[in-house]
Amino acid sequence: MNSEEMLDFALGQLDDPRRRELEEAGRTDPEFAAKAHRVRHAVHQLVDDGYTFNPPAGLSHRTLALVAHSRSKGRSILDYVPVQVPFRWADFAVAASIFIAGLLTLMPAIQRSRERMNQAGCVFNLAQIGSSLAQYATLHPSYPYPPNDRADAHSGLFAAILHDAGMLTDLSVLDCPCNGKCAVHAAGRMDSFEQIDDLRKSDPAQYQKLVSWDYGYNAGYRRGSGRLGPLEARPASLIAVVADQPPQDAHLGVIDRNSPNHGGSGQNVLYSDGGVRWHSNRRISPNDLDLYLNNARQMQPGLNEHDAVVLPVMVPFVGSDNR
């Protein structure tokens, strides 16, 4: 028997049958009995204070009176605490129904709020692109345009030209948040305009993956001489420069089909004054019948300065006759 057990025995803390065993040992082993007695006596000497506290007369009656007074004051909130709450499927069904009803009630509001947030994100993107174009226009007479030997470069490479000029560092602004994530991040580190244009011929699949942003670009218009040229940087002229990408080729001819970025409800358009405006149809001014086609109903640069045409990213600056 260890000392801890001896102490527990002396303090009356051992349970049967061990207690009975030690009591029996005490009857047969005088030495053990003497030791246990000495421990008990020592503890008694240290702890027994000789007091016998008796409750004052009437304590229980006063206590009952206090509780009765509490009862008469009316029920407290604790009185309504259920004694037992058994699990019932009916309760679960009611709770689930309330949860689902709440969810269905809130979903449209959450959806609308998300749409508004994405719409604001799209406007912000275009404003950022507008800011880059404005910076570019302070150093150049026109908006981004490829050199003559690269005239067949795709209009989407306006972003690469801006990037080359050091005026567009954050490529995420080329992703409209309203139509899910596009693969802009795949671009990673954008190479120079020439390198990307070379990639178009050497690795079309990689090029397709790289140039996948959501905004189309106004590649300029046909001059009186018949030659194509870039849009001149004149902010006051209020020309559409960048906009949400055009609809698919199959729907391009249908005037009612808007950009797919916003589910076909309309498109944001960035103008040369830096402003971004929402248009619920493709007719953006009396002089411009279709944002995505020129006034001859072709996916070509505009017939004049006021005939703004926003081309898809994969259409050359010189336009596409065969679409």
Partner 1 sequence: MVKVIGSDSAEDLAQLTDEDLMRRYRDHGAEVLFNELVHRYERELFRYLARYLGDPSLAEDVFQNTFLQIHLKRGLYEDGRPFRPWLYAIATHQAVDTLRKVGRHPTVSLDQRLAPAQADSESGSLLDMLVNDDSGPLADLQEQERQQWVRDSIERLPDSLRQTLILAYHQDLKYREIADILKIPVGTVKSRLHAALAKLQQMARTAHRDGKD
Nearer to partner 1, 79 or 149 (CB): 79
Answer yes or no whether residue 16 interacts with partner 1 by CB under 8 A. no
86 burial level (CB within 10 Å; 0-12, 13-18, 19+): exposed
Q: How many residues in the shown chain lie near partner 1 by CB under 8 A? A: 45
Site for partner 1 in 58-117 (CB under 8 A): 59-60, 62-64, 66-68, 70-71, 76, 78-79, 81-84
Q: What string marks each residue from 127 to 166 as x (binds partner 1 by CB under 8 A) or -?
A: ----------------------------------------
Shortest reach from residue 39's CB to partner 1, in Å: 5
Nearer to partner 1, 83 or 109 (CB): 83
Phi-psi region of 266 (alpha: psi -120 to 50; beta: other; left: phi over 0): left
CA dist 201 and 82 (Å) reads 76
Shortest CA distance to 211 belongs to which of 157, 278, 175, 253?
Answer: 157
Answer yes or no whether residue 57 interacts with partner 1 by CB under 8 A. no
Residue 139 is encoded by which pair of tokens?
Answer: 């150093």
131-136, long-range: CB < 8 A, 24+ apart: 131/274, 132/162, 132/167, 132/168, 133/162, 133/167, 133/233, 133/241, 133/242, 133/270, 134/235, 134/274, 135/167, 136/161, 136/162, 136/165, 136/167, 136/233
Shortest reach from residue 180's CB to partner 1, in Å: 52
215 - beta bridge partners?
244
Answer yes or no whether residue 120 interacts with partner 1 by CB under 8 A. no
Answer yes or no whether residue 38 interacts with partner 1 by CB under 8 A. yes
Nearer to partner 1, 66 or 94 (CB): 66
> Applying CB under 8 A, which residues contact partner 1?
2-4, 6-8, 11-13, 15, 35, 38-39, 41-43, 45-56, 59-60, 62-64, 66-68, 70-71, 76, 78-79, 81-84
